[in-house]
Structure 1
Amino acid sequence: MSYINDGAPYLILDFEGVPMVSSSFADETIGKLAERFGPVGFAQRFRLINMNPSVQMLLDRAIASGSQLSSTGMTKFLSGNEGRPVTRRSGRIKR
């Protein structure tokens, strides 16, 4: 949190080589961050990259629960832009 508080634009959480995370880890770390910052603030401050499908599913649930989102897929959004701004033109999302 110190990096974020000290003005870093965002923090990359790299899950390369992580075969599995526990649901309690996902809830107590990623879920709590999503709760603290809200969906937009979380998406602006954190980039989740290199997740396998199992890890992504657990983090999706933790983010949805922590930020009280009604749908899943937040980690796809968070990992898809990898720090590049997302723009929308003519009804299509461009990365």
Structure 2
Amino acid sequence: MSVKPDYYDVIRKPVITEKATMASETNAVVFEVAIDAAKPQIKEAIEGLFGVKVKAVNTTITKGKVKRFRGKLGKRKDVKKAYVTLEEGNTIDVSTGL
């Protein structure tokens, strides 16, 4: 099985938070993805990397906060997260890594 290198450009990293752990109880996994990634691209990348069947992909864009860096105003980057719901019987263990 060959892994397309652009899958890693779409999927940045898994999100491991309390909310993401609660989502895993409903067979969903949360990933930080590229800001310009579309839902079909995300689905294809997850299925290609992990060898699972994806049921649905929901995305959300969190706007970056305005913060002060050394007295100057700066802005954190915008982050896009994908909530990937898997078909029954499929699992992804994000704690092991790729």
Which of the two has higher C-alpha Rg?
A: 2
Do the two structures share a fold, i.e. TM-score over 0.5?
A: no
More strand by share: 2
TM-score (norm 2): 0.28
